[in-house]
Amino acid sequence: MDAQAKALMNQARCDRCGARFRTQASAKKQLWNAVFEGGEIVGFLCPDCQTADESAEATINEATLDYYGPDERGRTVARPKEGES
């Protein structure tokens, strides 16, 4: 998660149930998902509200992508992770 996402997460509420990120136990905080559109964060989902597909997508993205940003347009950019040599 990039610095922009971390800053937003401190104020975040789940888009579905309204739960506050900052009041969650630390183990649960790691399971929150940022929702991106066009490289910009547009919302957040708490672990209780994520569907199985959303959770799986986030796990795959975390394992295969590195996130950078913001770029010159303020967007978060993802690039494939480089394999170990």
Residue 14 lies in a domain: yes
Give the pLDDT band (50/70/90) at residue 9. low
Instruction: Convert the pLDDT of each residue in 33-61 to its tens digit.
Output: 989 898 888 999 999 999 999 999 999 99
> Which range of residues forms the domain containing residue 37?
3-78
Q: How are beta strands 40-45 and 77-80 bridged, if at all?
A: unpaired
Residue 47 lies in a domain: yes
Q: Residue 57: what pLDDT?
A: 94
The Cα-based distances of 64 to 13, 45, 57, 75 in angstroms read 26, 20, 11, 19
Residue 57 lies in a domain: yes
Residue 7 lies in a domain: yes
Give the pLDDT band (50/70/90) at residue 5. low
Residue 84 lies in a domain: no
> How many residues in total does the chain contain?
85
User: CA-CA distance, 51 to 67, in Å (whole number)?
Assistant: 22
Region 5-30: mean pLDDT is: 80
User: Is the model's pTM score more than 0.85?
Assistant: no
Residue 83 lies in a domain: no
**For the chain, how many structural domains are there in total?**
1
Residue 51 lies in a domain: yes
